[in-house]
Structure 1
């Protein structure tokens, strides 16, 4: 595989896709629907594309933790076990990904994209339901059962380490099932656990030398720029419309890869 970055149409599209991906992640999530296929489009092997994409977009996730610091204080007792579960799941998912055959993972790509798009579609009504549930219930919220939540978080974070797109909805649902009703607290725990699961997967990908840095570093810069402008303009946009744009984008990419395999 050629290890040099070419400033042709595909290279320009990779940087553009990373820029838009950073903006989408700041506004609604789902940036991987663009940046991951863009890496495949320039000839990067599927597993290296997933690893490189994860590393490139991770700094933008990490910086978002600060915005939820106050909401994390309400569930400090849960924070350590959930972080441990996220780390275990993220490492396991990353290791399994690197031991998957390239052709096997490529065959899974359209199914993974389709599942992620459906998760994004479901996240809007679930979030609306949680917001309705959380009104006036913060004080009487009962603590969730730790062991089932711990095991469930390992499973979800395994998926994050393996592929990850749309996993935020899975964490939101998991926390809601186990009794956390305040939407801000749920979002805070979601951001921390997804960032940690991706973070340990990032370490695995770097140690195993699966990251193509000549693409990754450029993507980091453009995604960060996109994230900055996405965050600035997100309040001016209809959040529901943006999420449906992401869903359509994910379904379109899934259809494209199904068509390529056909």
Structure 2
């Protein structure tokens, strides 16, 4: 009963955080690992339970998704799909011990990206710096998608940065496209994880359902929250605490 309660609470909190500012991975992955699930399986399970939330976000932004940048949408989708499979395949061949050693560094990277996301976005918009070569844009997106297929934490932040560099400026459109790309690459990652039997379904299903509930309930009240910056700080503190815990474990 305790384990089920932890899984449900983690799913609810993940959905709530992602509905407002992101950072749900800072909760789900550590909880799954601390419940005794092998690190690689925990990571694959955390990715699996996040997929429904991505699709829900796509639906919310469905009218805003359009091409703005260097690559056409079709090419973006193909590159994201390839990267998702590559990242998942890389995770499949990673040993549990090696991945456990990587977890604190991955969490640290995601935390730093999350903390610096607003400033990076402002700098990108103010500078007007962009990727004009379609080939370079495809390579950057492939690297981001491969990262997402391997480790979902901080994916949205990195994806937004990549889209910004390609010339995207409409934030609603960027959020929608980000969620669509995350849906594509994460779905293919999950298929890869399924073939390798890396998903703890007994944890993934209740956590995913709780995630949907948390996201839906929070989204009903999110407009009433005026100090998103304070919430972002709280999430950064959570991410930092989880990172330290894994470093000293």
Same fold per TM (> 0.5)?
yes
The alpha carbon displacement at 1:56 in A equals 1.1
Q: Which of 154, 179, 185 is matched with 2:142 structurally?
A: 154
Give the alignment partner of residue 187 of structure 1, picking from 165, 175, 178.
Answer: 175
Pick one of 208, 229, 232 that aligns with 1:220.
208
CA contact 1:83–1:193 (8 Å) conserved in 2: yes
8 A Cα contact 1:11 1:42, kept in partner: no
Match of 2:11 among 5, 18, 34: 18
Unaligned ranges ≥5, structure 2: none
Residues paired across the two proteins, number: 246
Larger CA deviation: 59-68 vs 91-100 = 59-68
Distance, in Å, in 2 between the alignment partners of 1:169 and 1:222 is 23
**Partner residue in 1 for 2:55:** 62
Query: How big is each residue's C-alpha offset from its partner over 1:142-196, in whole Å with a ceiling of 9 and x where there is no partner?
Result: 9953221111111001000111211222222222222223323322221211221
Deviation, structure 1 residue 42: 1.0
Deviation at 1:11, TM superposition (A): 3.4
- TM-score when normalising by structure 1: 0.87
What displacement does 1:129 show?
4.5
Match of 2:162 among 155, 167, 174: 174
Instruction: Tell which structure's C-alpha radius of gyration is larger.
Output: 1
Task: Tell me, yes or no, if the aligned pair for 1:130 and 1:181 is still in contact at 8 Å.
Answer: no
Q: Which sections of structure 1, spanning at least 5 residues, go unmatched? A: 1-6, 135-141
Question: For the residues of structure 2 that align with 1:232 and 1:225, how far apart are their CA atoms?
Answer: 11
Instruction: State whether structure 2 residue 34 is matched by structure 1 residue 34.
Output: no
Residue 26 (structure 1) shift = 1.0
Q: Shift of the alpha carbon at 1:109? A: 0.5
C-alpha contact (below 8 Å) 1:152/1:174 kept by paired residues? yes
Deviation at 1:25, TM superposition (A): 1.0
Displacement of 1:37 in angstroms is: 0.7
The one of 19, 24, 42 equivalent to 1:49 is 42
Q: Which moved more, 1:74-83 or 1:152-161?
A: 74-83
Classify 1:231/1:132 alpha carbon distance in 2 versus 1 (closer, same or farther; 3 Å). farther
Q: 1:41, CA displacement in angstroms?
A: 1.1
